[in-house]
Chain A
């Protein structure tokens, strides 16, 4: 079935990459439509329960290979109108200027084809629009033009303990920037979003609208400006006409349909985007699609304390330190953040991470109310052996499942060791018991890299495909390096930047 809509831009995916752009294009008066594989998850319909909320995640099976296979599903990727921001923790640190220039600084990795200065105005715009809560003085990175729009959220148990331990160790900390409201905010296109009620279930979806997931922010704005969002529409192929990408084939309500547009933006995330490109045989004259897959060094350290902490309370991401942004002898660095945690997430991580079972397992889990955690997000370099390919195994639609190879390199191993030692030392300072570390990789990054040279990159500095006209990519797949911060804010800034370039091209 062919839908004969006159579209300027078709967007595939409504996460951190797809949503801000959709709003920007719609506000300019362009005729835009987004196809989203997942459905709408309305805040008031969300139970405070992790298992029931599994539908927020991309549950189609992915295959994980390599020495450090990456867990997906509830770990690493979202599905729904709003994408992974429905379940993100909403930590919103900016990258620092040197994050974009690893090659220049260390002779390893690659530099971004853009600088901090290019993103700065977009960072500012996104922070103001989402209503980020944060400290009045942030100790790291360049000064910001405007302060965060709302004061920082209250620190929960783990955050206060980390603050206390860090003080004793001479590590500076700060309340983190979070895209959750410490005061109510009127949101254009949506209405009043209330202040965060500290229910701590951000990773199972915010049931109040306090968290700036994209459904209650940029997507609401986009729809108020005339954009259409078709939910439950999973794209299976990009369509070509006269050498350009001209639309997409998708399955909705069991029916295969097509849509055409002057320009197509692929924003399906760092796994489904390269998968679609490979499935369609598009955009890959460089042979780089699926290559340079990265995932942050994400080791977590947990311990038990005598205090009754109730780790389900308060925004899970409260305290941050960027004092380890650079570590002598390592490429790049990491940030530290405190962790709140929901019970099932903690329990399954403990079982997987320690292999404990029987009485030892239930005894430990019975002390859930006394659990305190910290983690890091650290730089991961691109390696030839870390890539996504199509597997020979087919999914329920008859399409090859993605197969992802991932192994940490020397730098990541040393960074994880460094970080684990720092965090164990912090938890020793507060007298935590039964301290254990979960080795982990977080976030899916790379696979359709941006860069100036078409022979080694998939898209240019604005997300425009180097070799196939009509195609743009706007999601975490385009990151040339992982950055030593959470990717969401940077992704939203890039999305607005791509939107501006697209508008210019459509007007030219």
Chain B
């Protein structure tokens, strides 16, 4: 349940095992929301629908599509691009335009079939979009909590690094951690 998870994340971030710069970064990301600025309303709605199929998540918890729109708006690059692909903005717009016009109202299976076709037809732009969504997802503190990732609690260091040599804070943190 998200409220409890959020509380656990915030408690960990405010604890003594997290350094100040790490805390500031992750607290900000936990609640980051973006207004649409680059894509058109139609494009943005479609991006949200695609994003849900590519990287299942709750958009109320993490604004992965907004994150992408924001980057495109700021014209930030990740440092490189396939030479055969247009700039990121037009490339993503091209991906969205290539989907069936009723994409948002299709069933999940039909959406997936359309996405498979997109992946085959435009492999490079598709790979970039998938990677960018995956990055936003994996970097989010709630995902990290659910996957039992505790690496940000490193202020005291990790004296033991062998297999199964867990510190108490690693065992205690996160859903997969609790399962062990």
Interface positions of A (Cβ within 8 A of B): 44-52, 54, 57-65, 69-75, 77, 154-157, 160-161, 197-201, 207, 305, 307-310, 312-314, 342-344, 346-348, 350-352, 355, 357-359, 361-362, 365-369, 391, 403
Q: A198-B161, A344-B138, A357-B54 are in contact. Are A74 and B79 (CB under 8 A)?
A: yes
Is B61 among interface residues, defined by CB-CB distance under 8 A? no
A198 near B158 with CB under 8 A, answer yes
From residue 156 to 180 of chain B, which have CB atoms closer than 8 A to chain A? 156-159, 161-164, 166, 170, 176, 180
Chain A residues contacting B24 (CB-CB under 8 Å) are 47
Bound-complex Cα distance A200 to B146 (A): 21
Q: State which of B19, B76, B81, B82 has its C-beta within 8 Å of the C-beta of A47.
A: B19
Chain A residues contacting B150 (CB-CB under 8 Å) are 310
Q: A47-B19, A49-B22, A369-B176 are in contact. Are A313 and B79 (CB under 8 A)?
A: no
Is B77 among interface residues, defined by CB-CB distance under 8 A? yes
A66 to chain B: closest residue by CB: B83
Bound-complex Cα distance A350 to B138 (A): 12
Interface code B143-163, partner A: CB below 8 Å = 1, 0 otherwise? 010111111101011110111
Q: A201-B154, A358-B112 are in contact. Are A73 and B77 (CB under 8 A)?
A: yes
Is B45 among interface residues, defined by CB-CB distance under 8 A? no
Is B56 among interface residues, defined by CB-CB distance under 8 A? yes
Whole-angstrom distance between the Cβ of B176 and the nearest chain A Cβ:
7
A347 near B138 with CB under 8 A, answer yes
Q: A160-B162, A307-B163 are in contact. Are A343 and B138 (CB under 8 A)?
A: yes
Question: Which of B83, B156, B157, B159 has the largest number of chain A CB atoms within 10 A?
Answer: B83
Whole-angstrom distance between the Cβ of A49 and the nearest chain B Cβ:
5
A48 near B170 with CB under 8 A, answer no
Whole-angstrom distance between the Cβ of A56 and the nearest chain B Cβ:
11
B147 near A344 with CB under 8 A, answer no
B130 to chain A: closest residue by CB: A351
**Can you spell out 13 A-B residue pairs with CB atoms less than 8 angstroms apart?**
A47-B22, A52-B25, A61-B81, A75-B79, A154-B162, A197-B154, A198-B159, A201-B151, A343-B149, A347-B137, A355-B127, A357-B115, A361-B54
Q: State which of B76, B112, B119, B139 has its C-beta within 8 Å of the C-beta of A49.
A: B139
Chain B residues contacting A201 (CB-CB under 8 Å) are 151, 154
Chain B residues contacting A346 (CB-CB under 8 Å) are 138
Chain B residues contacting A347 (CB-CB under 8 Å) are 134-135, 137-138
Bound-complex Cα distance A59 to B88 (A): 14
B152 to chain A: closest residue by CB: A48
Is B117 among interface residues, defined by CB-CB distance under 8 A? no
Chain B residues contacting A359 (CB-CB under 8 Å) are 56
Q: A307-B164, A347-B137 are in contact. Are A199 and B80 (CB under 8 A)?
A: no
B134 near A348 with CB under 8 A, answer yes
Whole-angstrom distance between the Cβ of B121 and the nearest chain A Cβ:
13
B83 near A63 with CB under 8 A, answer yes
Chain B residues contacting A48 (CB-CB under 8 Å) are 19, 22, 151-152, 154
B-side interface residues, number (CB < 8 Å): 52
A157 to chain B: closest residue by CB: B163
Is B58 among interface residues, defined by CB-CB distance under 8 A? no
Chain B residues contacting A367 (CB-CB under 8 Å) are 147
Chain A residues contacting B29 (CB-CB under 8 Å) are 51
Is B35 among interface residues, defined by CB-CB distance under 8 A? no
Q: State which of A207, A307, A365 has its C-beta within 8 Å of the C-beta of B138.
A: A365
Bound-complex Cα distance A348 to B138 (A): 9
B162 near A362 with CB under 8 A, answer no
Whole-angstrom distance between the Cβ of A194 and the nearest chain B Cβ:
9
Bound-complex Cα distance A344 to B144 (A): 10
Interface code B96-113, partner A: CB below 8 Å = 1, 0 otherwise? 000000000000000010
Bound-complex Cα distance A365 to B137 (A): 10
Bound-complex Cα distance A355 to B54 (A): 10
Chain A residues contacting B157 (CB-CB under 8 Å) are 197-199
Q: A309-B163, A366-B176 are in contact. Are A352 and B79 (CB under 8 A)?
A: no
B162 near A343 with CB under 8 A, answer no
Chain B residues contacting A63 (CB-CB under 8 Å) are 80-83
Chain A residues contacting B81 (CB-CB under 8 Å) are 61-64
Q: A358-B112, A368-B149 are in contact. Are A310 and B170 (CB under 8 A)?
A: yes
Bound-complex Cα distance A49 to B78 (A): 16
Bound-complex Cα distance A49 to B147 (A): 16
Bound-complex Cα distance A255 to B140 (A): 38
Q: A207-B19, A344-B139 are in contact. Are A71 and B80 (CB under 8 A)?
A: yes
A54 to chain B: closest residue by CB: B78
Whole-angstrom distance between the Cβ of A387 and the nearest chain B Cβ:
13
Whole-angstrom distance between the Cβ of B130 and the nearest chain A Cβ:
5
Bound-complex Cα distance A348 to B151 (A): 17
A308 near B164 with CB under 8 A, answer yes
Q: State which of A65, A73, A307, A362 has its C-beta within 8 Å of the C-beta of B79.
A: A73
Q: A313-B161, A348-B131, A403-B83 are in contact. List 15 more A-B contacts (CB 8 A).
A: A44-B21, A45-B21, A48-B19, A49-B139, A51-B29, A70-B80, A71-B80, A75-B80, A198-B161, A207-B21, A310-B158, A310-B161, A351-B134, A367-B147, A368-B148
Whole-angstrom distance between the Cβ of A120 and the nearest chain B Cβ:
33
Bound-complex Cα distance A161 to B24 (A): 36
B162 near A155 with CB under 8 A, answer yes
Whole-angstrom distance between the Cβ of B109 and the nearest chain A Cβ:
11
The 5 closest A-B pairs by CB, nearest first: A73-B79, A197-B157, A312-B151, A314-B161, A72-B80
B56 near A362 with CB under 8 A, answer yes
Q: A49-B139, A155-B161 are in contact. Are A64 and B154 (CB under 8 A)?
A: no
Q: A71-B80, A403-B83 are in contact. Are A361 and B55 (CB under 8 A)?
A: yes
Q: A69-B82, A310-B151 are in contact. Are A358 and B53 (CB under 8 A)?
A: yes
A73 near B154 with CB under 8 A, answer no
Bound-complex Cα distance A446 to B152 (A): 37
Interface code B47-76, partner A: CB below 8 Å = 1, 0 otherwise? 000000111100000000000000000001
Chain A residues contacting B147 (CB-CB under 8 Å) are 343, 365-369
Whole-angstrom distance between the Cβ of B30 and the nearest chain A Cβ:
12
